[in-house]
Amino acid sequence: MTEQAARKPFLYVVVCAAGVAADLSKLITAAQERDWEVGVIATPAAMNGFFDTAAVEAQTGRPIRSAWRAPGEPRPFPAPDAVVVAPATFNTLNKWAAGIADTLALGTLCEAAGLGVPIAVLPCVAEALAAHPAYRESLERLRGMGVRFGEPYAGEPGKGGGGREFGWERGLDLAGCR
């Protein structure tokens, strides 16, 4: 078997600064159980205590990426076969839809969509924010780009999340990670 044929598919997990990110390891475990390799790209805000970065680096065997590489440096991750954005914040979804690329996470998402890489999004957005007209327009625009969305999740019991599980594996299903 050639080296190319032996390579596992590579999943980019884009993580934003929402409280539920504390359970990110669940998504990584589920992806690895499906025989995918995982690289995590976090927004700068998400690196500020939202999840255990050392544990995630140990779990994936790769550094978390959050900042742009320097010109001339090699790309630290292979090209993605699929992308899961989880949790996805109000802020990142609106900026992505508007074509803003001022974080590595956003630049990666804008580019992946343009390349036709399958992208699944698990939003974690409170109902009060989700009612903003800009958010509704952002979702419509991203859906029109082919981005696949999981069920709305508000993050707090009784406020749309209803205390239910975040449903990390749904992101893998939507992104086609078999």
Ligand X SMILES: Cc1cc2nc3c(=O)[nH]c(=O)nc-3n(C[C@H](O)[C@H](O)[C@H](O)COP(=O)(O)O)c2cc1C
Which residues sit at the interface with ligand X, rule CB under 6 A? 16-19, 43, 45-46, 89-92, 103, 124-125, 155
| 9 vs 47 by CB, closer to ligand X | 47
Closest Cα partner for 176 from 73, 84, 42?
84
CB nearer to ligand X: give 20 or 117: 20
Output the smallest distance, CB 20 to ligand X, in A.
6
- On whether the CB atoms of residues 166 and 51 are closer than 8 A, the answer is no
- In this structure, the chain runs to a length of 178
For the CB of residue 79, give the shortest distance to ligand X in the complex, in Å.
Answer: 23
C-beta atoms surrounding 15 within 10 Å: 28
Reply yes or no: is the peptide bond before residue 152 cis, omega within 30 of 0. no
Taking a C-beta distance cutoff of 8 angstroms, is the pair 107, 101 a contact? Answer: yes
Which CB, 90 or 149, lies closer to ligand X? 90
In this complex, which beta carbon is closest to ligand X, that of residue 31 or of residue 46? 46
Nearest approach, Cβ of 8 to ligand X (angstroms)? 28
Cβ closer to ligand X: 18 or 40? Answer: 18
For residue 131, the minimal CB distance to ligand X (Å) is: 13
Classified as helix, coil or strand, 105 is: helix
Rounded to the nearest 10°, the torsion over CA 130, 131, 136, 138 is -50
CB of 122 to ligand X, least distance (A): 11
Q: With contact defined as beta carbons under 8 Å apart, do 83 and 39 qualify? A: no
